[in-house]
Amino acid sequence: MDCINYYIYIITFHIQIKKFGYENQLPVTHTCFNSIDLPPYSTYHQLKQKLTLAINEGSELFELS
């Protein structure tokens, strides 16, 4: 009977979130640095709407800047 070894890896990382930009801008991510630049949105609804839009639009395109 073969013995099967299972390995479980737990990887933790930190994401840095900082206030940056203007309220009419979308959030910006810097994946190399695990950081998100969030504009100072005035309401939770606006934050959720802009973040959702950025995630959906970003899933279609990946650019190097």
Q: Which residues are catalytic?
A: 32
CB atoms within 10 A of CB 54: 17
Q: Which of 46, 2, 1, 6 is nearest to 27 (CA)?
A: 46
User: 56 - beta bridge partners?
Assistant: none
